[in-house]
Amino acid sequence: MAFELPALPYDYDALSPFMSRETLEYHHDKHHKAYVDNGNKLAAEAGLADLSLEEVVKKSFGTNAGLFNNAAQHYNHIHFWKWMKKGGGGNKLPGKLEAAFNSDLGGYDKFKADFAAAGATQFGSGWAWVSVKNGKLEISKTPNGENPLVHGADPILGVDVWEHSYYIDYRNLRPKYLEAFIDSLINWDYVLERYEAATK
């Protein structure tokens, strides 16, 4: 199953001023495209081109670093674009999601503090996540392209803390970028969709 670069679900100016057109053009058109192109080449070489993306990510983890890095980053980014929307963020969560955040993560304010801390303290490149594991929500962070899939969890929300995702707009102020992501960009409807799929 060939990897394909998805179109952004909004125009390049939609997330401004929290994420600029320039950031999206570089991040989507250059970085994500490179993961797709490299991933297709490496998956074919490894004889895994017919598998689903999730299967490629899981099979290549710990066995084929080059393929894993590109396939996992492709997976992460497919969802990352959908985890943002114009006018997103804030504490107006759909009811079912709000109930889960209250019971599993200690409520929205604690989620915000813990998720931002996970992203801010991830040394170097990586991601911060909210995932469903064993039926419950948990917050985690991973280095580079690694994601919760390879740890037996289903990610329902992730934020990219590689420098190319924020440096044009925030320079070295990663915590400011994380605050903007949580307060102004999260697409809670897509988070709910992922949550419902993970808890079926």
Identify the residue whose tokens are 């590109």. 70
Q: Is 77 annotated as a binding residue?
A: yes
Report the side by side order of strands in the sheet with 154-160: 136-143, 126-133, 154-160
How far is it, in rounded angstroms, from Cα 97 to Cα 103? Answer: 10
How far is it, in rounded angstroms, from Cα 181 to Cα 43? Answer: 32
Q: Running DSSP on this structure, what letter comes out for residue 17?
A: T
Q: Is 37 annotated as a binding residue?
A: no
How far is it, in rounded angstroms, from Cα 200 to Cα 5? Answer: 28
Q: Is 28 annotated as a binding residue?
A: no
User: 62 in helix, strand or coil?
Assistant: coil
- Binding residue numbers for Mn(2+): 27, 77, 160, 164
Binding residue positions: 27, 77, 160, 164
